[in-house]
């Protein structure tokens, strides 16, 4: 069975890796490292949530994923608004899509406690 949130988190992580490689080629090392950490952490937490020990553990891991998602959005906003940084609209849109899915999962899970 297809797991949309897992697949989307992998897709976003791969796009993050590609974008961070571009940032590093442009010697934007600090943002590249921060973005790489937060952007790939989303998927790691989504994957951990798939084998949560309890409903509370699942919610906790999804909450961490959403926190990492918000941090990722922040770094992408800085890239977007900075004149000397490259921008990636496709990546920004994919992160927003993943956020919609994660927030829906979170709200549904909290309601069904």
pTM over 0.85: yes
Contacts of 1-4 with C-beta under 8 Å, sequence gap 24+, read: 3/50, 4/101
54: confidence class by pLDDT, cuts 50, 70, 90: very high
Write the pLDDT tens digit of every residue in 21-44: 999 999 999 999 999 999 999 999
Note whether 9 and 98 are within 8 A (CB).
Answer: yes
In terms of Cα–Cα distance, which of 26, 50, 40 is closest to 95?
A: 40
Q: How would DSSP label each residue in 22-75?
A: HHHHTT-HHHHHHHHHHHHHHHHHHHHHTT-SSHHHHHHHHHHHHHHHHHHHHH
1: confidence class by pLDDT, cuts 50, 70, 90: confident
């Amino acid at each position: 069975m297809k797991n949309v949130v897992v697949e989307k988190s992998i897709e976003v992580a791969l796009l993050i890796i590609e974008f961070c490689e571009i940032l590093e080629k442009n010697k934007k090392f600090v943002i590249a490292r921060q973005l790489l950490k937060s952007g790939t952490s989303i998927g790691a937490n989504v994957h951990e949530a798939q084998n949560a020990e309890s409903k509370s553990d699942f919610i906790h891991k999804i909450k961490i994923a959403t926190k990492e998602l918000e941090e990722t959005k922040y770094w992408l906003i800085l890239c977007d608004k900075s004149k000397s940084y490259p921008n990636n609209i496709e990546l920004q849109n994919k992160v927003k899509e993943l956020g919609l899915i994660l927030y829906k999962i979170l709200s549904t899970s909290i309601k069904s406690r």
